[in-house]
């Protein structure tokens, strides 16, 4: 509801995203967006405390899975979606044709970085070219956050191309030809890359991401800024069978488990089940194939 109010005051009423405050001219004249004010922020914090005290539990954003990324990858790589079309003046994005080859290359790169490095996509959008170093097939993200160590990323095997940041980044940087400044910039009309050195907004990314989910028949409502962070954490633990301490070290998280932060990423009633409940003890459940990571016949295969 607050997001709707912020949008209505900011976009529909033209008040922008400046915080609500008294004008410099004085006289009790208020300017800015009423939804972005100290009073409203204080109310939201108190409301959350009351809800928690009453026993309500916040629903986490649903985790993105490798299966969803697989479907997105193959849909975006269809010829009609991946091809770069010539610019046509006056062309506008819509629900049926919301993005061309450039937009989809950007999304694939952002998806894989957010997933494998367990980042929120608002963190991904702030990455700049100087945050990367290239060493043969190794991409190293430098400390754009001082408390996070570099991420060393090698090219994934062909069967995991749908979650490979190296391949996705190479495709995006080759097409965008961005050599300095922000890596993920706003996509303008006609599938053009904005020339200004400003990052894509979280709002535009979320809109494109949700349209992409609709392409493959998935309801986008349960997914949000933490979907890739949670999905990457679950992928490393369930499919790659990383130890919790290793996951924390990779993500730059505290290894102090007393606050159970990592458990919140691994377990949520909002996520899709790894295995149907009716198959837990079913001796005739469908067989699994050999796991490419651990070499065992297990559900992660």
pLDDT digits (tens, 9 = 90+) for 204-229: 899 899 999 999 999 998 898 789 99
Q: Can you list the pairs that 213-218 forms with residues at least 24 positions away whose Cβ atoms lie under 8 Å? A: 213/68, 213/72, 214/95, 215/72, 215/75, 216/68, 216/71, 216/72, 216/75, 218/68, 218/71
Q: What pLDDT digit, counting tens, does each position of 76-132 carry?
A: 999 999 998 887 665 555 545 788 999 999 999 999 999 999 988 888 998 988 887
**pTM for the predicted model, two decimal places:** 0.69
Mean pLDDT for 27-35 is 85
Going by pLDDT thresholds of 50, 70 and 90, the confidence category of residue 29 is confident
Residue 296 has pLDDT above 80, yes or no: no
Going by pLDDT thresholds of 50, 70 and 90, the confidence category of residue 301 is very low
pLDDT at 272: 63
Residue 45 has pLDDT above 80, yes or no: no
Rounded Cα gap, residues 227 and 72, in angstroms: 15
Mean pLDDT for 23-48 is 82
Strand partners for 19: 33
pLDDT at 163: 95
Residue 274 has pLDDT above 90, yes or no: no
pLDDT at 60: 66
pLDDT at 211: 92
CA angle, residues 158, 163, 167, in degrees to nearest 5:
65
pLDDT at 174: 92
- pLDDT greater at residue 40 or residue 261: 40
Beta carbons within 8 Å of 208's beta carbon, 6+ residues apart: 98, 99, 103, 107, 187
pLDDT at 62: 87
Residue 142 has pLDDT above 50, yes or no: no
In DSSP notation, 159-216 reads: GGGGG-HHHHHHHHHHHH---SSBSSB-EEGGGEEPSSS-BPPHHHHHHHHHHHHHHT
Cβ of 228: how many Cβ atoms within 10 Å? Answer: 29
What is the 3-state composition of the chain as percent helix, strand, coil, each rounded to the nearest 5? 45, 10, 45
Residue 265 has pLDDT above 60, yes or no: yes
pLDDT at 182: 92
Mean pLDDT for 2-13 is 83
Q: What pLDDT digit, counting tens, does each position of 159-185 carry?
A: 999 999 999 999 999 999 998 899 999
Q: Are strands 21-22 and 30-31 parallel, antiparallel or unpaired?
A: antiparallel
């Amino acid at each position: 509801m607050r997001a709707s109010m912020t949008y209505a005051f900011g976009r529909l009423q033209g008040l922008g995203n400046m915080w609500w405050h008294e004008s410099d001219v004085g006289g009790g004249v208020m300017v800015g967006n009423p939804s972005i004010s100290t009073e409203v922020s204080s109310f939201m914090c108190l409301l959350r405390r009351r809800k928690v005290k009453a026993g309500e539990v916040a629903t986490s954003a649903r985790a993105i899975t490798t299966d969803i990324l697989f479907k997105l990858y193959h849909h975006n790589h269809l010829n009609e979606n991946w091809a770069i079309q010539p610019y046509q003046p006056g062309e506008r994005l819509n629900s049926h044709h919301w993005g061309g080859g450039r937009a989809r290359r950007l999304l694939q790169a952002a998806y894989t970085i957010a997933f494998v490095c367990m980042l929120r996509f608002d963190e991904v959008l702030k990455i700049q070219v100087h945050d990367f170093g290239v060493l043969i097939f190794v991409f190293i993200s430098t400390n754009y956050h001082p408390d996070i160590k570099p991420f060393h990323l090698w090219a994934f095997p062909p069967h995991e191309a749908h979650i490979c940041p190296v391949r996705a980044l190479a495709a995006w940087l080759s097409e965008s030809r961005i050599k300095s400044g922000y890596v993920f910039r706003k996509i303008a009309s006609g599938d053009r890359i904005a020339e200004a050195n400003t990052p894509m907004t979280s709002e535009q990314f979320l809109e494109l991401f949700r349209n992409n989910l609709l392409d493959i028949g998935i309801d986008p409502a349960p997914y949000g800024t933490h979907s890739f962070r949670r999905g990457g954490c679950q992928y490393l633990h369930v499919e790659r069978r990383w130890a919790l301490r290793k996951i924390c070290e990779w993500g730059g998280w505290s290894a102090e488990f007393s606050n159970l932060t990592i458990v919140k990423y691994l377990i949520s009633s909002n996520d899709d089940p790894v295995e149907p409940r009716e198959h837990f003890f079913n001796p005739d459940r469908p067989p699994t194939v050999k796991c490419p990571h651990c070499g065992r016949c297990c559900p992660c295969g």
